Each structure stands twice: as structure tokens, then as C-alpha cells.
Amino acid sequence: MFRALSIDPGRCTGCLQCELACSYEHTGVFNPSRSVIRVFNFHDEGRFVPYTCTQCSEAWCMRACPVDAITADAATGARVVSEESCVGCKVCTIACPFGTVNYVQATGKVAKCDLCAGDPACVRACPTEAITWVDADLAVYDKMRQWAAKTDAGASASA
């Protein structure tokens, strides 16, 4: 059974603890610019949305890599970048339709969410549970339920 990150933007306060935890977990420093999870700030709406790799089943980044530096972790289902194999060509950054594979200038390699080997630091750090670690099937079901609720609310408002 695979698990997945479930993100509830309605719970996000924009504290950036997820970004700090991610950067520390992967680089040993608290530096949000070195995190592979980002919190988008929608100033005009007064809301925040955490965003990171969704670990696509099709994984265009993985398919596009000319040196097979991105592989699927059998234990977590994460698409993981091998820093040893990555040549920094950035083809995966172009292939990712969501912009969640990042080129790291300091290393000349790419970085993306690897689900912290099954214990995501962003989840542990989130004080409001805006980011949770759930059964992958439940994450999909929850997204469908949220969409249905929005659609139902829109239909009720226009009636």
C-alpha cells in the first residue's frame, strides 16, 4: 500500500514550517529556497497553498531523463533523483507539467520531493495538519469529495 501527501490549503497559515523542515532534512540548513515544497502566497485572496511533486504514476520527468537518473522507489512509490547519475541537463524540469522538479545551481543537479523515504519532514513540521501522510487511495478519494463539494456549492448558489 502506497501513501501520499494530502494537502488541504484551507488549513495552511503560511508559516513555512514545511519549507524549513524540507530544506533541513535534505541539505542540513534552514533555507526555504532550498526546499522542494513551496508555499504559494495568494496575496489578493489572503490564502496560502503548499505545493510539491505529486509523484505522478506516468512520471514524465522520469520518462524524459536521458540517463535514467530518476527511478521509482519500490517502498514509497516516490520518483527519486539519483544525484550520482544526474548530469544536470534539466530535461526533467521541462518535462514536468507542474514545475516541481527544480534545478539546483549550487550542485548542478536537479531536486524534487522524494517523500523523505516514507517519513515526510513537511508532514511532521506542519502545525495545522495542512499536509498529511495518508493512504494513497484515500488521498484521491478526498480530492474527488472536495471537488464534488465545490461543484455542489456552485450549483446551489446559481439555483
Domains of the chain and CATH, by start: 1-52+117-159 (3.30.70.20), 55-112 (3.30.70.20)
Whether the Cβ atoms of residue 146 and residue 36 lie closer than 8 Å to each other: no
Q: Which residues contact 45 (CB under 8 A, 6 or more apart)?
A: none
Average pLDDT over residues 66-76: 96
Residue that the C-alpha cell 539546483 belongs to: 104
pLDDT, residue 148, reads 74
The residue among 131 and 143 whose pLDDT is bigger is: 131
Average pLDDT over residues 44-70: 95
Which residues does residue 102 pair with via DSSP β-bridges, in sequence order? 111
Q: Which residues contact 109 (CB under 8 A, 6 or more apart)?
A: 81, 83, 86, 88, 103
* Dihedral angle sign, alpha carbons of residues 53, 38, 86, 93: positive
